[in-house]
Structure 1
Amino acid sequence: MTQLHTVQVLGGGSAGSSAHVRSLAAGLVARGVRVTVCAPAELDHHYDFLSTGAHFAPVPRRSDPAAIGALRVACAGADVVHAHGLHASVRAGLALGPRSVPLVVTWHTRTHAEGARGRLVRLMERKTVRTAAVVLGTSSELVDRARRRGARDARLGPVSIPAPREGAAEAEAGKARAELGAMDRPLLMAVGALEPHRGYGTLLDASRLWLRHDPVPLVAVAGEGCQRIELQRRIDTEGLPVRLLGRRDDVTSLLASADVALLPSRWEARSPLAQEALRLGVPLVATAVGGVPELVGDAAELVPYGDAGALAGAVTALLADPVRRAALSAAGRAQAATWPTEDETIAQVLSVYDELCGVTRPRSH
């Protein structure tokens, strides 16, 4: 059996898709697959794809006209090309052109756009799913969306983020909490890019209501993005108990130190924050949107998107009820145990590759 060669294509590289590709690369290499990761050079600095045993081919971001040519070279000789995200899928399709190399597409999330840009996004979605041999959606809603756009074969492909090392995050939690100055007050933690669809405006509205709480909770937000200046201006002007931490490498430790995790987004598929919070046993308050209810089941408090009063009320009730927090902590760990493991995720993806390439592997015992 000749060695299978797959090319993994990332576009901008969200935290969730980048972590998934790193996990996938390591698992596939361990199974004897030759892997090439194509992504902007800075992503390798952060995720160290080379250390997995994969080859790394730097590809400029989507605004650079050289990107398609670089991808075309990297995909030469590939048995399967696997693109992660809409823009990566469009570029991979253009790079492959008329070649008969099967294209697998994973939709980790959806692009938020309205008006003319929204129409362009729908056109791009239709084009990519009709080009792909298989579309994997990380939530049932994304699978349905791909089918509506005309996908020939759309399947549920829930990705798993690497599980935190047992006890490691908890060991650092006290240090993280002390650094934030939250030893004598509740700590609420949110993680994600500072972008409009993340719902941080609603989170700031809720934080104003928490000023009535004694002691006042500290809201810490790990992430960077286009809304930083706007959000910081509101925090300073209104005296809100919120700290924007910027991009952090110790998110797991920060999350483990929190009393409650917050996910106020307008839409999510398989939120990395939700996965980490439940695995760590941190009570989660999240919006009932996209794939979140499917992911968390009954193991989180769900509120409507954009409702600051509901968000504030759910958190206030949890802070006043240690029994409920303990129940959610236990339920979160139990729910996390039902999710696919990294090995199961990698095995599913490899089975798709084998199916497309007509490869039969010996069964493991």
Structure 2
Amino acid sequence: MTQLRTVQVLGGGGTGSGAHVRSLAAGLVARGVRVTVCAPAELDRSYDFLGAGARFVPVPSRGDPLAVGALRAVCTGADVVHAHGVNAAVRSAMALAAQPVPLVVTWHSRPHAAGARGQLRRLMERKAARAAAVVLATSSELVDRARRRGARDARLGPVALPPPRGLADPPGEKVRSELGAVGRPLVVTAGPLEPHRGHGTLLDASRRWLGHDPVPLVAVAGEGPRRAALQRRVDTGGLPVRLLGRRDDVTALLAAADVAVLAGRWEARAPLAQEALRLGVPLVATAVGGVPELVGDAAELVPYGDSVRLAAAVSRLLADPARHAELAAAGPRQAATWPTEEETIAQVLSVYDELCPRGGHGPGPRRPAAAPPGQGA
């Protein structure tokens, strides 16, 4: 049996995609696959792909000829190239234009841009979908989206994140003391401070908690372009919110929380939701994208942008110990239904074997046929 050679291509490496590639690389290497990870240099410092046994080649997440040429050189001789995200998929397709190497794309998210930027993003989605031999989408909604964009073979491929490791027991008191949340409820959210993440709605909800006794503290972990604007709102309104900036201990923050909140406009398999449910922390989340599919009945779901419903859902959980305990118990049960890392790796490896079966018979199908007319936007 010949040794399978795969190149994993990452762009910006969001929390979900970066952790997934690290997990995937380690699992594939353990199964005898030669793995090369191509990503911006800083991502190896964050995810230690070399420590997973993979070869790491720093390649910037640009689409200029120099970056694409560097990616092309790495992909030469590979059996399968696996791109994670639309940007990485488009760059990989460009690099493979003259190479008969099958492209697998894991589709982690969807765009939030409007206008000209939104049109450009949809064009990139079509290019990525049509270039892929197989699209693995992280939610059913994304499977349908990939098919609408022209994918010939789009399948559900949930991304399993590694379970929390090395968490102190109990972790809560030290964290709560640091945040100033001793003797008061702690509400935690985490993620980039971007417009579509719903932080404005959460701040509106926090104003409604000013009448509580004691007043809940909202801790927001994350950095981004909205940091200054959000801080001004907190200061002007005297809101019970702390913007913590970038944190490396989000799992510990969640474990110390009374309630976790996910308020974004769209999510597939949000890492925050996965960690909260695994830890047994009651979650209030927006009923968008793949969130209902992910959490089932193990979270309180509210409409996106509705601060009144969001505030009320959190208030009910803080005031109702029985419901709080019910969700705390339901979270780990729901998490146990998700695919494990082992199952995720096995699914990906089975896709690779479909495209280039090993055993001395040479590679399987390399490039998809031309797109059927009329498919796309």
278-287 vs 179-188, which moves further = 179-188
> Is the 1:170–1:256 contact (alpha carbons within 8 Å) kept by the matching residues of 2?
no
> Is the 1:136–1:154 contact (alpha carbons within 8 Å) kept by the matching residues of 2?
yes
Q: Write out per-residue CA displacement over residues 308-345 of structure 1, whole angstroms, 9 at most, x where no aligned residue.
A: 00000000011001111100011111100000000000
Q: Which residue of 2 aligns with 1:82?
A: 82
The structural deviation recorded for 1:64 is: 5.8
Q: Which residue of 2 aligns with 1:221?
A: 220
> Is the 1:169–1:252 contact (alpha carbons within 8 Å) kept by the matching residues of 2?
no
| Distance across 2 between alignment mates of 1:338 and 1:312 | 29
> Is the 1:84–1:108 contact (alpha carbons within 8 Å) kept by the matching residues of 2?
yes
Letter in structure 2 aligned against 1:36: T
Secondary structure class of the residue paired with 1:184: coil
| Distance across 2 between alignment mates of 1:232 and 1:189 | 16
Q: Which residue of 1 aligns with 2:321?
A: 322
Q: Write out per-residue CA displacement over residues 199-249 of structure 1, whole angstroms, 9 at most, x where no aligned residue.
A: 111011111111111111111111111111111111111111111111111
| Distance across 2 between alignment mates of 1:232 and 1:147 | 41
Query: Does 1:250 find its partner at 2:255?
Result: no
352-361 vs 21-30, which moves further = 352-361
Q: Which residue of 1 aligns with 2:371?
A: none
Letter in structure 1 aligned against 2:251: T
The structural deviation recorded for 1:169 is: 4.7
> Is the 1:170–1:253 contact (alpha carbons within 8 Å) kept by the matching residues of 2?
no
Q: Which residue of 1 aligns with 2:127?
A: 127
Query: Which aligned pairs between 1:58-77 and structure 2 lie closer than 5 A?
Result: 58-62=58-62, 66-77=66-77
Query: Which aligned pairs between 1:46-65 and structure 2 lie closer than 5 A?
Result: 46-62=46-62
Q: Which residue of 1 aligns with 2:158?
A: 158
RMSD: 1.3
| Distance across 2 between alignment mates of 1:173 and 1:346 | 33
> Is the 1:287–1:305 contact (alpha carbons within 8 Å) kept by the matching residues of 2?
yes
Q: Which residue of 1 aligns with 2:292?
A: 293
| Distance across 1 between alignment mates of 2:179 and 2:213 | 18
The structural deviation recorded for 1:168 is: 2.3
Q: Which residue of 2 aligns with 1:11?
A: 11
| Distance across 2 between alignment mates of 1:300 and 1:292 | 10
| Distance across 2 between alignment mates of 1:221 and 1:36 | 35
Q: Which residue of 2 aligns with 1:335?
A: 334
| Distance across 2 between alignment mates of 1:20 and 1:308 | 32
174-183 vs 259-268, which moves further = 174-183
| Distance across 1 between alignment mates of 2:246 and 2:71 | 28
Q: Which residue of 2 aligns with 1:274?
A: 273
The structural deviation recorded for 1:61 is: 2.7
Q: Write out per-residue CA displacement over residues 35-62 of structure 1, whole angstroms, 9 at most, x where no aligned residue.
A: 0111110111111111000000001132
Q: Which residue of 1 aligns with 2:205?
A: 206
TM-score, scaled relative to structure 1: 0.96
Q: Write out per-residue CA displacement over residues 153-205 of structure 1, whole angstroms, 9 at most, x where no aligned residue.
A: 0000001110123x825433322111111111100000110001101110111
Query: Does 1:346 find its partner at 2:345?
Result: yes
Secondary structure class of the residue paired with 1:188: strand
Secondary structure class of the residue paired with 1:38: strand
Letter in structure 2 aligned against 1:308: S
Letter in structure 2 aligned against 1:58: P
Q: Which residue of 1 aligns with 2:355?
A: 356
| Distance across 2 between alignment mates of 1:334 and 1:44 | 33
For residues 360 and 225 of structure 1, do their structure 2 counterparts lie closer, same or farther at Cα, with a shift above 3 Å needed?
Answer: farther
The structural deviation recorded for 1:12 is: 0.9
Number of equivalent positions: 360
| Distance across 2 between alignment mates of 1:24 and 1:360 | 22
> Is the 2:2–2:359 contact (alpha carbons within 8 Å) kept by the matching residues of 1?
no
Query: Which aligned pairs between 1:110-125 and structure 2 lie closer than 5 A?
Result: 110-125=110-125
Query: Which aligned pairs between 1:179-198 and structure 2 lie closer than 5 A?
Result: 179-198=178-197
Q: Which residue of 2 aligns with 1:94?
A: 94
- Structure 1 unaligned spans of 5+: none
Letter in structure 1 aligned against 2:341: E
Letter in structure 2 aligned against 1:162: P
Q: Which residue of 1 aligns with 2:167?
A: 168
Query: Does 1:109 find its partner at 2:109?
Result: yes
| Distance across 2 between alignment mates of 1:146 and 1:45 | 32
Task: Answer 1 or 2: higher relative contact order, Cα 8 Å, separation at least 6.
Answer: 2
The structural deviation recorded for 1:67 is: 1.8
Letter in structure 2 aligned against 1:136: L
For residues 92 and 63 of structure 1, do their structure 2 counterparts lie closer, same or farther at Cα, with a shift above 3 Å needed?
Answer: closer
